């Protein structure tokens, strides 16, 4: 198929932005880990014109007219299948074709009507099965999209949003201010603690804990504008699983017995996904895997999954028309000690 001159120019411009250092590194690793699926994944990740954006409606300032417009444009809701713990209050709309709505501007005193996101990033939030009144920890919370999504699911008794990076912390505060009404802000605590210290600071405090860990952000790394910085990131990459496991061990301490923990990343890397979770399961006798097959079956029409070799872990990989992910999600439960 011939591209129009404008489209061809756009594609060439995008192609020039891809960081060859990162792409070469990913090529070696992911062609081994994903096999034949990697070529399709690579094509999507390196073609932003194929990327899709889901629209999460804000229940605290519900956009009824926008919802009608989305229906008219052919958008459909996530999880048209029946997931037992899918909250009716969550309305997330997807389109099968690449289309990005404009982002709303932050205005003090005015709540935004919708949040644009990669639809796969809702899966860790839904996996937590949040209920009204529960105490929840979002350990690595910035920029705040998953905290906002958690509050679309239920009204927690207490939500602790933690972010160690001071610049990202400002982003988190602004996101919460943009989407959450003042009365609800009173049940939210925002902190700037090193996540590895949270377990000792608040032992066995939370019913649910989300660890959306710092990781090799595959989409953004591929478009690194500074090749030296990219090379440095790659050389430091092997240290990430150590940090991820330290964050998980801290989260486990902060979780009450019987509570649920969800670990997520936006990388395809087995070292940061399955290997991290396997090491935690092998070294923490009070942590049990929770089967996620039902979630995978229910949303298979909207997401493509790569095999993980784990019943407790899902890996969303992008393909054309379902350009969501990468997103790894693992679900764990803390057992009662006898």
Is 312 one of the annotated active-site residues of the chain?
no
Of 143, 126, 149, nearest to 57 (Cα)? 149
275 is in an annotated binding site: no
Q: Is residue 195 within 8 Å of 250, Cβ to Cβ?
A: yes
279 is in an annotated binding site: no
194 is in an annotated binding site: yes
Dihedral through CA 21, CA 26, CA 32, CA 36, nearest 10? -110
CB atoms within 10 A of CB 223: 16
143 is in an annotated binding site: yes
CB atoms within 10 A of CB 126: 24
212 is in an annotated binding site: yes
Angle, helices 227-236 vs 20-34, to 10°: value is: 40
Burial of residue 284 (CB within 10 Å: 0-12, 13-18, 19+) is middle
146 is in an annotated binding site: yes
* Active-site annotation holder among 266, 284, 299, 312: 266
Of 233, 216, 218, nearest to 46 (Cα)? 218
319 is in an annotated binding site: no
Tell me the CA end-to-end span of the chain in Å, nearest whole number. 65
Q: CA separation (Å) from 60 to 89, 186, 222?
A: 10, 15, 36
Angle, helices 20-34 vs 37-45, to 10°: value is: 150
Quote the CA–CA distance of 303 and 283 in Å, as a whole number: 32
141 is in an annotated binding site: yes
Residues whose CB falls within 8 Å of the CB of residue 74, separated by 6 or more in sequence, listed in order: 95, 96, 97
Which residues define the annotated binding site for S-adenosyl-L-methionine?
140-146, 163, 194, 212
Which residues define the annotated binding site?
140-146, 163, 194, 212
Question: Which residues are known to be catalytic?
Answer: 266
């Amino acid at each position: 198929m011939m591209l129009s001159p404008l489209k061809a120019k756009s594609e060439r411009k995008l192609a020039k932005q891809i960081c060859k250092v990162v792409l070469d590194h990913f090529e070696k690793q992911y062609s081994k880990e994903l096999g034949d699926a990697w070529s399709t994944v690579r094509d999507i990740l390196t073609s932003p014109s194929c990327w899709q954006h889901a629209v999460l409606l804000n229940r605290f300032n519900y956009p009824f007219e926008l919802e009608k417009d989305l229906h008219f444009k052919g958008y459909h809701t996530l999880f048209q299948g029946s997931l037992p713990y899918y909250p009716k209050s969550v309305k997330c709309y997807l389109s099968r074709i690449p289309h990005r709505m404009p982002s709303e501007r932050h205005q003090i005193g005015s709540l935004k009507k919708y949040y644009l996101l990669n639809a796969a990033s809702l899966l860790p939030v839904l996996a937590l099965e949040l209920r009204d009144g529960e105490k929840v920890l979002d350990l690595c919370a910035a920029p705040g999209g998953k905290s906002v999504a958690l509050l679309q699911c239920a009204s927690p008794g207490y939500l602790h949003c933690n972010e160690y990076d001071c610049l990202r912390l400002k982003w988190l505060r602004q996101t919460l201010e943009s989407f959450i009404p003042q009365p609800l802000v009173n049940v939210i605590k925002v902190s700037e603690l090193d996540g590895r210290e949270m377990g000792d600071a608040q032992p066995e405090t939370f019913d649910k804990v989300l660890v959306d860990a710092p990781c090799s952000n595959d989409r953004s790394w591929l478009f690194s504008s500074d090749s030296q910085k990219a090379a440095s990131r790659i050389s430091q990459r092997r240290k990430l699983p150590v940090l991820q496991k330290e964050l998980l061990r801290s989260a486990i301490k902060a979780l009450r017995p019987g509570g649920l923990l969800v670990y997520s990343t936006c990388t395809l890397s087995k070292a940061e996904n399955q290997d991290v979770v396997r090491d935690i399961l092998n070294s923490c006798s009070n942590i049990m895997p929770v089967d996620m097959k039902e979630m995978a079956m229910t949303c298979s029409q909207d997401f493509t999954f790569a095999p993980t070799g784990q019943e407790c872990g899902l890996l969303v990989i992008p393909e054309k028309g379902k350009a969501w992910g990468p997103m790894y999600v693992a679900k764990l439960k803390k057992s009662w000690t006898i």
